[in-house]
Amino acid sequence: MVALSQRMTPLDALGRVSEELAAAERDRLALVARRDELVTQLRAEGATWVALARAAGTSRQALMKRG
């Protein structure tokens, strides 16, 4: 998290925070893609939607929409 220092103006801080948000979003998208790959793999191995949803901490319907 960015702390506003004497050297960093609020405008600089805004730019830095925006960069950090963009990086976090890239990380989130990569994690979602990895989860989708795992769901596909586990479904091919016979895992149920209920078991996958429980492990993923989401609803069966949400996983099925992505898969």
pTM over 0.85: no
Nearby residues of 62 by Cβ (< 8 Å), 6 or more positions away: 53
Q: What is the pLDDT of residues 7-59, one digit of tens each?
A: 889 999 999 999 999 999 999 999 999 999 999 999 999 999 999 999 999 99
pLDDT reading at 2 higher than 70: no
pLDDT digits (tens, 9 = 90+) for 35-46: 999 999 999 999
What pLDDT, on the 0 to 100 scale, is given for residue 6?
Answer: 65
